[in-house]
C-alpha cells in the first residue's frame, strides 16, 4: 500500500510538471509575482512600439496628478502626456480643462486663479478619499518627479507635452532645468509649434496630420519629429509615406478606439507610439500569442 501511494505521488508530480511546462512553452503561463514587469517585458520584445499614457492615466489615480504619474512611472510608460496651462500669476500648471469644474472642487477658469489659490483645491473630484489631498501639480513638480525617476532607473520615461496655454519661453526653461527638453515631444497648433521652434530650435515638434495633402507643407514649415495622425485616417500607405520622410507616427487610441484589436492593428501599421488610457491592457495584449 505504501509503495502504491509513493508511486501515485510520483505520477502526480510528473503530470503537474508536464502540464506547467507545456503551458510555459506555448505562452500561457502567468507571472508569479510582478505582473507589470512581466507584461512590459513581453511588450518590448514584440511590437517595437512605444506607449504614451493619456493625461498620465493609470486607472488607479486621478488624471494629471502626481499620484497617477508615480503609478505610470512604476509601469514603465514610454511617455507621460501632460497638459500645460498658465495661472493668473504666470505659473505653469498641469490641467487638461480650461476650467476647474470637472476634475477639482473649484470652479471657473484656471487662468483667473493664482497658483496659491489653485493649490488649495483638490484635484481628485469624484475619486475616493485616498486621493482627496492631491493638488493640481506644477510643471516644475512633474519635471522633478520624472527627472528623479530617470536618474535612478534604466527604463526612461519622457514627456509628451500638450501645450494648451503656455508661452514657449518659461516652458522650455523649466524642461531644460531638469534635463527633459531634448527627449520631450511637443503637441500643439501649427502656429504655436512654429513659435516654440524659434525658442528651442531642436525641440521635437508633433503637429496633427489629417490627410496626405497636408503633409509636405507641415514638413517644410515645422520639420516635425512626429505627426499625431488621426486613427480614422491612418492607413498603411500614409504610415509608409510618413516614415519615408524619417518622421514618426503617433496615434491616439482613446474612448471606443482603446481596444486590443486596435493596439495590434497599430503595431502592424508600424505606428511608433500609441496613446491610451489603459496602459496595462496594451501590455497584456502583446503578451499573448494571438498578436504575434
Q: Which residues does the annotation mark as catalytic?
A: 54, 96
Three-class DSSP category at 185: strand
- DSSP conformational letter for 268: H
C-alpha cell at 278: 489603459
Backbone φ/ψ region at 85: left (φ over 0), alpha (ψ -120 to 50), beta: beta
- Average pLDDT (234-239) is 96
Residues 25 and 39 reside in one and the same domain: no
Q: Which of 20-24, 53-57, 105-109, 229-233 has the lowest mean pLDDT?
A: 20-24
Residue 229 Cα to chain centre, angstroms? 16
Backbone φ/ψ region at 246: left (φ over 0), alpha (ψ -120 to 50), beta: left
| 56-83 per-position pLDDT tens digit | 999 999 999 999 999 999 999 999 999 9
Residues 26 and 153 reside in one and the same domain: no
Looking at residue 187, what is its pLDDT?
Answer: 98
In a 10 Å sphere around its CB, with 0-12 CB exposed, 13-18 middle and 19+ buried, how is residue 40 labelled? buried
Q: Where are the alpha helices (DSSP H) in 53-167?
A: 66-74, 115-118, 139-152
Residues 52 and 87 reside in one and the same domain: yes
Residues 117 and 236 reside in one and the same domain: yes
Residues 95 and 232 reside in one and the same domain: yes
Residues 163 and 56 reside in one and the same domain: yes
Segment holding 269, helix H or strand E? helix 260-269
Residues 23 and 88 reside in one and the same domain: no
Residues 14 and 129 reside in one and the same domain: no
pLDDT band for position 24 (cuts 50, 70, 90): very low
Which residue range forms the structural domain that includes residue 19? 1-30
Looking at residue 13, what is its pLDDT?
Answer: 44
In a 10 Å sphere around its CB, with 0-12 CB exposed, 13-18 middle and 19+ buried, how is residue 104 labelled? buried
Residues 19 and 108 reside in one and the same domain: no
Residues 67 and 156 reside in one and the same domain: yes
| 110-131 per-position pLDDT tens digit | 999 999 999 999 999 999 999 9
Number of domains making up the chain: 2
Residues 6+ away with beta carbon under 8 Å from 21: none
Amino acid at each position: 500500500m505504501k509503495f502504491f501511494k509513493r508511486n501515485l505521488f510520483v505520477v502526480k508530480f510528473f503530470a503537474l510538471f508536464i502540464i506547467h511546462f507545456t503551458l510555459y512553452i506555448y505562452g500561457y503561463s502567468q507571472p508569479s509575482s510582478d505582473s507589470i514587469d512581466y507584461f512590459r517585458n513581453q511588450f518590448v520584445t514584440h511590437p517595437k512600439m512605444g506607449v504614451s499614457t493619456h493625461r498620465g492615466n493609470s486607472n488607479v489615480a486621478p488624471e494629471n496628478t502626481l499620484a497617477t504619474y508615480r503609478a505610470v512611472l512604476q509601469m514603465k510608460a514610454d511617455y507621460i502626456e501632460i497638459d500645460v496651462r498658465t495661472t493668473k500669476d504666470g505659473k505653469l500648471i498641469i490641467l487638461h480643462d480650461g476650467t476647474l469644474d470637472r476634475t477639482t472642487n473649484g470652479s471657473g477658469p484656471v487662468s483667473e486663479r493664482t497658483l496659491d489659490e489653485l493649490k488649495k483645491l483638490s484635484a481628485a473630484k469624484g475619486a475616493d478619499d485616498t486621493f482627496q489631498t492631491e493638488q493640481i501639480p506644477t510643471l516644475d513638480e512633474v519635471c522633478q518627479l520624472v527627472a528623479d525617476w530617470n536618474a535612478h532607473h534604466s527604463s526612461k520615461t519622457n514627456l509628451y507635452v500638450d501645450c494648451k496655454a503656455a508661452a514657449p519661453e518659461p516652458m522650455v526653461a523649466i524642461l531644460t532645468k531638469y534635463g527633459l527638453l531634448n527627449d520631450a515631444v511637443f503637441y500643439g497648433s501649427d502656429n504655436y509649434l512654429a513659435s516654440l521652434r524659434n525658442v528651442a530650435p531642436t525641440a521635437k515638434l508633433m503637429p496633427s496630420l489629417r490627410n496626405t495633402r497636408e503633409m509636405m507643407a507641415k514638413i517644410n514649415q515645422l520639420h516635425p519629429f512626429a505627426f499625431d495622425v488621426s486613427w480614422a485616417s491612418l492607413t498603411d500607405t500614409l504610415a509608409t509615406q510618413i516614415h519615408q520622410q524619417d518622421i514618426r507616427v503617433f496615434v491616439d487610441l482613446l474612448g471606443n478606439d482603446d481596444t486590443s484589436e486596435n493596439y495590434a492593428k497599430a503595431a502592424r501599421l508600424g505606428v511608433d507610439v500609441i496613446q491610451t488610457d489603459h496602459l496595462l491592457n496594451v501590455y497584456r495584449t502583446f503578451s499573448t500569442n494571438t498578436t504575434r
